[in-house]
Chain A
Amino acid sequence: MKRALKVAVAAAALGMSGLAAQAEGLKVGFMATLSGPPAALGEHMRDGFLLGVKEAGGKLGGLDTEVLIVDDELKPDAALTKVQGLLERDKVDIMAGVVFSNVMMSVYKPIIQSETIMVSANAGPSPIAGKACSPYFFSTSWQNDQNHEVMGKYAQDQGYKRVVVMAPNYQAGKDSISGFKRYYGGEVVDEIYTKLGQLDFSAEIARIADAKPDAIFTFMPGGMGVNLVKQFSQAGLSDKVPFLSAFTVDETTLPATQDTAVGLKSGSQWSSTLDNPANKAFVAAFEKEYGYAPSLYASQGYDAARLIDGALKKAGGKDDKQALIAALREAPFESVRGDFKFNTNHFPVQDFYVVEGAKRDDGKYIVKVVEKVFDDQGDAYAAECTLK
């Protein structure tokens, strides 16, 4: 009996402190993939976001901020359960994060149905950019097709006549190829689809060498990309066949691929070499705080925190949700990627670049800008979105 009473008191105390926090502070639910092979992506994004919160003195928009970090395990069902916990039990004010599109698609409905603001720091599946868009959803990354389109446009501009494309055999892999083809008009001599999670690409590399293309385009995130880049270079192809990619050469894979990825191209909206004051401050602060070079995922996480901070300040707090949404739409912050404004579907209108792997003077590997491909580019689905 006595114990039951104690528990009740403790619960009441907890409940009260919860209430108190709700009245004064800001609760942000941050979901990222933090286990399994792609965990590095989630860690970069999380570290970027937390740096943004820290630089705001732990107070986004002047409100004491509590960030509840949850691991989605790259399992849509587990993610759904955890998001429901965040929404109903923890009563978070804002949701942010999410690396993978399949996870996003599973948590999107409950979040927007509860009229909670969601700031995606990575995943940008086409339905959310198009028909299923929502006033509560904002993205500080891109629509999924865009980084692939960058490479398609680049291949076209470079005058590559024959290209081999290769991607894992799943939805995002096929979307990647169709994104590439949207801007590439030359001949695709071979389309290779590999098993998701494949380790050895020697068979595919032999095929590529045999086809003698002007360039290859590939989408191999995480460890697959590391394996492909190393093996591509060991087969002596990196000097002969231009390597165009998306989400394959970045600061999450460069520590492993090192010199073998130097000069390999990728499409991106950000690089640590972009010359603007916000970016310089971000890169310096990030490396000081965490000791490793930030990737585009880190920059998107950081921008998400800064967007929330700026919008809360502009709206004068979190209580008037419509005012907050209106403030978010104006993107009241300096993005580390330079130009940034929201399209009608709440995805960014931004510049895209071709970047390539490079070794910095201090020995760290980063991607540096080669050239700008798109200026103030929106995505292909915004017209389908009914938001105005």
Chain B
Amino acid sequence: MSATLLAVQTLNGLQLGILLFLIAAGLTLVFGVMDFINLAHGVQYMLGAYLAVAAYGVTGSFWTAMLLALAGSLVVGLALELVVFRHLYDRDHLDQVLATFGVILFLGEAVKVIWGSSPLSLPVPDLLSGSIPISDGLLYPVYRIALIVAGLLIAALLYVLVTHTRVGMLVRAGATNAPMVSALGVNIRRLFMVVFGFGAMLAGFAGIMAAPILAVEPGMGDNLLILAFVVIVIGGIGSIRGAFLAALIIGLVDTIGRSAATDIARLVLPPAAANDVGPAIASMLIYILMAAVLFFRPSGLFPARAG
């Protein structure tokens, strides 16, 4: 693999990592602060993309569509909290998994009824539609670079929010010991609602940003949800910093693994066998990584509850 190819794959890995981070950030906050397993987080990602496509159809502007879809994601997130999730905080994890799985089925089917099951798309905004030549014959889309930058900005914003504001302090305190925070007179329910709405909006934002490069289709969030859970488990549940670093690690390992596994397998195996073994190993890599992390550091790389 040449140096330019490695550089391009690193960029690709970063970009996948950023996308994962946007989804995992909301998930880890909700799971960490509220001890609530929200399987419907992937559906909120999907809704963000669909709302953006719908808003684009009406307004014809990517940026207005993004604002409308963000607002829509927030509203849907808060509505779900009010109607469904609020009643589940005190239940055990199995009830939460069942109920949020029901939300996945319901919203997945609703999306299909409204928009149909054919994949839809959102065009790349004109401002970001060009590409930069990286090597001979390969262009890197500006939009993907914009996605990386947007993700880094969100990460910085979250960092400031969580470490330097009062709400952030409460969130961190809630992640460490929610009953104690409540006992100190903080309206934990309202805090939950804020965290939840914010998480839903982040997932929606990830969906909007992904819509121009990925197909907008029912079930688009399901695969990413699994990866996002891997990210928060590796990063340490409830830790934004952990989610950020774990997302980047997963993105890089997965991308470079997919690119290089077959080549590496060819060094030791005949080509036909390498073609079988390489892709199989590449798709297992991140789970092997997760198992290794869990073995050596059972509470993740940066546990929020480390005391």
Contacts and interface: CB of A to CB of B under 8 A. Distances in A.
A40 B118 contact: yes
A191 B275 contact: yes
A268 B79 CA distance: 47
Given A199-B224, A240-B137, A256-B215, A210 B2 contact: yes
Instruction: Among A212, A231, A256, find the residue whose CB has the most chain B CB atoms closer than 10 A.
Output: A256
Interface stretch (A18-26, A121-129, A201-209, A275-283): A201-209
A223 B135 contact: no
Given A169-B279, A203-B255, A206-B12, A257 B121 contact: yes
A231 B213 contact: yes
B279 A195 contact: yes
A40 B219 CA distance: 13
Contacts of B112: 35, 39
B218 interface: yes
A36 interface: yes
A203 B12 contact: yes
Given A40-B117, A206-B12, A206-B138, A200 B213 contact: yes
Interface of B: 1-2, 4-5, 8-9, 12-13, 15-16, 112, 116-121, 123-124, 131, 133, 135-141, 143-144, 212-220, 223-224, 255-256, 258-259, 262, 275, 278-280, 282-283
13 contacts: A36-B219, A39-B117, A39-B218, A40-B117, A169-B280, A199-B220, A202-B12, A202-B144, A210-B5, A223-B215, A223-B220, A231-B213, A256-B216
B121 A258 contact: yes
A236 B275 contact: no
A206 B220 contact: no
B230 to A, nearest CB: 14
Interface of A: 35-37, 39-40, 43, 169, 191-195, 197, 199-200, 202-204, 206-207, 209-210, 212, 222-224, 226-227, 230-231, 234-237, 240, 252-253, 255-258
B121 A226 contact: yes
Instruction: Among A194, A199, A237, find the residue whose CB has the most chain B CB atoms closer than 10 A.
Output: A199
Given A40-B117, A193-B275, 4 more contacts: A203-B259, A234-B144, A236-B138, A256-B118
A197 B138 contact: no
A37 B112 CA distance: 10
A71 B259 CA distance: 37
Contacts of B16: 200, 202
Nearest to A40: B118
A194 B279 contact: yes
A235 B141 contact: yes
A104 B241 CA distance: 48
Instruction: Among A36, A203, A223, A234, find the residue whose CB has the most chain B CB atoms closer than 10 A.
Output: A203
A234 B141 contact: yes
A204 B258 contact: yes
A226 B215 contact: yes
A210 B220 CA distance: 29
Contacts of B282: 195
A39 B118 CA distance: 7
B121 A207 contact: no
A197 B223 contact: yes
Nearest to A193: B279
Given A37-B219, A199-B224, A209-B135, A234 B124 contact: yes
A353 to B, nearest CB: 23
